[in-house]
Structure 1
Amino acid sequence: MLFDLRPKSRREDIFDREKEFEELEESIKTYPLTLLLGIRRVGKSSILRAYLNEKPGVLIDCRELYGERGHITREDLIRELQTGGSLFSKALAKFRISVDLKFLKLEPKELSLREIFRELNELGEKTGGFILAFDEAQYLRFYGSRGGKDLLALFAYAYDNLPSLKIVLTGSEVGLLHDFLDIGNYESPLYGRIAGEVYVKPFDKNTSIKFLKKGFNEVGIDILEDDLERAVKILDGIPGWLVTFGIEYTKERNLEKAIARTLEIAKGLIFGELKELERRSPRYMIILQAIALGYNRWSLIRDYLAVKGYKTPEPRLHELLKNLKKMSWIEEKDETYHLTDPVVSIILKG
């Protein structure tokens, strides 16, 4: 069922992502470390969940771990690995395959992550490989007291010594994830190691229309081609918004009401994310508003900030814009800035 807001867990429920599945499969075969990248709500988590539904592996939700207390401890991570390992053991039991994972029987304080990684590698030797996946892995920079460097050292150890354990990291804030891994920095534990990268992009216009057509066909609703084109023109090709529109149109059977309701739901989600961004610096919100309103060149953004009461030195503005690009809120082309999600632009225009 396409019109379902929950992350998909079966390949057949995911629309037109065979290329991404093939690239993910090839990357995992080739590299000990794979990055699955793309902006928010584009479908990375669904692709990863569906892939892991077919392969031996465990998925850790890093954003959820971080959100519980604003940082991630060793004990938090071990508990999540134990939960995932337990679920995996039960899944294997259905096929009359039993595994004896020692780390499931001990308290987190009695365990080391390196021991767990070794045990998962041993399991991978029996199952043809084991995948340890971290969703929204940029939050791992809040692991421990050293900005996640202990975890990077463990990833490097697994990269070099545990050939049957493959690590997959997803990231919506692509630049922050790259900065966290810092593979090109000699001082990084992962220096010199090559990671495979798979990018999940929004649908183009034609694919978006086909997606909606299939979704409405599944629920037995006929909708005009012009209405589909209008919805896609406003919501663009981000699957998360297209699914929300499909659900709302199914309820309302009215195009304008369904679009309005979709934007209302989007506003709640986006403002929650923007509040987190604003806590880092109120200037971030002002910059995004400026770009949404068409003040999308460096000098125009600087002037817009000044009008709003935020005089910003040149080096500081460069840093703010660089950070927004790293967090995948904006992109730059020909010295002009654009929001990566057109729906965010609509919301910020008010």
Structure 2
Amino acid sequence: MLFDLHPKEHRKELFGRDSELEYLLEQLLAGNWVVVGGQREIGKTSLVKVAIRELKEKHGFKGAYVNLRGVRSLNALLTSLIPEMNSSRVKLDLSFSVNFIMGSAGIQVKRDAKAVSSLNELLNSVHEDLVIAFDEVQELSQASKQFLDILGNVFSSNSRVRFLFTGSYIGVTRILINPPSTSPLHGRPPVILNLRPFNDNTSRVFLRKGMREIGVDFNGEEEVVKRLDGVVGWLTLFGNFYAVRKIGLEEALNFAESEGKKIMIGEFEHFLENKNNKIVYTTLMDVIKVANKWRDIKRGMEIAIGQIDDKELSLALDSLVGNNFIEKVGRGEYRIIDPLLRKIDYSKILKPRL
């Protein structure tokens, strides 16, 4: 069902991404690794999950999906990966000699095993075609050097393992895409697949098809697309409120905007967690609602918070671009990508909540 709020896992549920899915499968079957990028709620996880299922059902691959949200260390990565490798969905035939034992529950890490050597052994012990999807890979940026060393080792040693990454274009993701000459992945960059919002016509067709699936007559596509744009996550959220929960058009739109804003505020707060100058980012988002050119943005920032160094401003803008909160649309021009991001009052984010 198109208006199901869970990530899609079957091709028939995936709307408007046929060409992207075929390209993704083609690249993985050719042995390439792939980074799937794009703004939040654009359908990255659904595309990845459908690709894994297609590879399993039609090409004999094993497949593992690991959500890295909150995973900041290699120990945490190992802890997240092992249950998926033990899953009945994967059923890998593995052989170990150093860091693991095979117990009744599957793979178990020995007590004093180190994360780096354990991950290297685990991934190089695979003797079947396996695709592993790491969702939100930028979360591992604090451990990027060791993580990239592991990936370089696997790339050189085990061609049966292919990786599929999603994430913002920062930290470890940026290095993956453009590895320096000192990186073990230098000269082996992954393919980049960037998902864009649906255009207006595709958005309207998505809404009509979703409504037909549930047997609902609907003619409010223009208003929905005007307010939610072509972001499939928000269109799906509206469709669920309107067609599944039987809420009126205006109320369903308001609910979709309200719930979507909560999601995006949570994403922005997560982004701010490791930032020392949080007020720069919250103020910058509010300023970009009304100013798009670099010089106007700087003027707005200095009116709001006082003098700001050119370098600090540029780094903050680059960080927001890399995290898919804003996009650079021309030389020195920026805009907020998501329609619901444009509706948030960022000045309230840093205030204590009662």
TM-score (norm 2): 0.85
Q: How does 1:222-237 map to 2 (within 5 A)?
A: 222-224=217-219, 227-237=220-230
Residue identity in the other structure for 2:208: K
SS at match of 1:296: coil
Mapping 1:22-101, distance limit 5 Å: 22-54=22-54, 55=56, 56-64=62-70, 66=71, 71-74=72-75, 76-87=76-87, 90-91=88-89, 99=93
Structure-2 residue corresponding to 1:107: 109
Unaligned runs of 5+ in 2: 57-61, 101-105, 348-354
Asked if the contact 1:209–1:232 (Cα under 8 Å) also holds between the matched residues in 2, the reply is: yes
State the SS of the aligned residue for 2:5.
coil
Identify unmatched segments of 5+ residues in structure 1.
none
In structure 2, relative to structure 1, the CA distance for the partners of 1:244 and 1:108 (3 Å cut) is farther
Q: Which one of 249, 252, 255 corresponds to residue 258 of structure 1?
A: 252
In structure 2, relative to structure 1, the CA distance for the partners of 1:51 and 1:7 (3 Å cut) is same
Q: How big is the alpha-carbon RMSD for the aligned residues of Structure 1 and Structure 2?
A: 2.1
Distance 1:153 1:278, change over 3 A: closer
Q: Is the 8 A contact 1:132 1:167 kept in 2?
A: yes
Find 1:275's aligned residue among 247, 250, 269.
Answer: 269
**Residue type of the partner of 2:89?**
A
Q: Is the 8 A contact 1:183 1:193 kept in 2?
A: no
Deviation at 1:252, TM superposition (A): 4.5
Matched residues in 2 for 1:233 and 1:276: separation? Answer: 28
Whether the 8 Å CA contact 1:138–1:180 is kept in 2: the answer is no
**Distance (whole Å) between structure 1 residues aligned to residue 19 and residue 32 of structure 2:** 20
Counterparts in 2 of 1:312 and 1:303: CA distance versus 1, 3 Å: same
Letter in 2 for 1:344: L
CA distance in 2, matches of 1:313, 1:51: 45
TM-score, with structure 1 as normaliser: 0.86
Residue 105 of structure 1 aligns to a residue in which SS?
strand
Aligned-pair CA distance for 1:14: 1.0
Q: Assess, with a 3 A threshold, how the Cα gap between structure 1 residues 60 and 215 changes in structure 2: closer, same or farther.
A: same
1:72 is aligned with what amino acid?
A: S
What letter corresponds to residue 233 of structure 2 in structure 1? G
Query: Which runs of structure 2 are paired with 1:1-350 in the superposition (5 Å)?
Result: 1-54=1-54, 55=56, 56-64=62-70, 66=71, 71-74=72-75, 76-87=76-87, 90-91=88-89, 99=93, 102=96, 103=100, 104-107=106-109, 109=111, 110=113, 112-120=118-126, 122=127, 124=128, 129-142=129-142, 147-171=143-167, 173-181=168-176, 183-224=178-219, 227-250=220-243, 251-279=245-273, 280=275, 281-292=278-289, 294-334=290-330, 335-348=332-345
Bigger fraction of residues in helix: 1
Deviations 1:28-57 (A, max 9, x none): 123442111111111111111122123211
Structure 2 SS opposite 1:197: strand
Q: Aligned partner of 2:256: which letter?
A: T
| Structure 2: distance between partners of 1:78 and 1:264 | 36
- Pair 256,182 (structure 1): closer, same or farther in 2 beyond 3 Å: closer
Structure 1 pair 29–307 and aligned structure 2 pair: CA distance change class (3 A): same
* Structure 1 position 323, deviation (Å): 1.3
Count of aligned residue pairs for this structure pair: 324
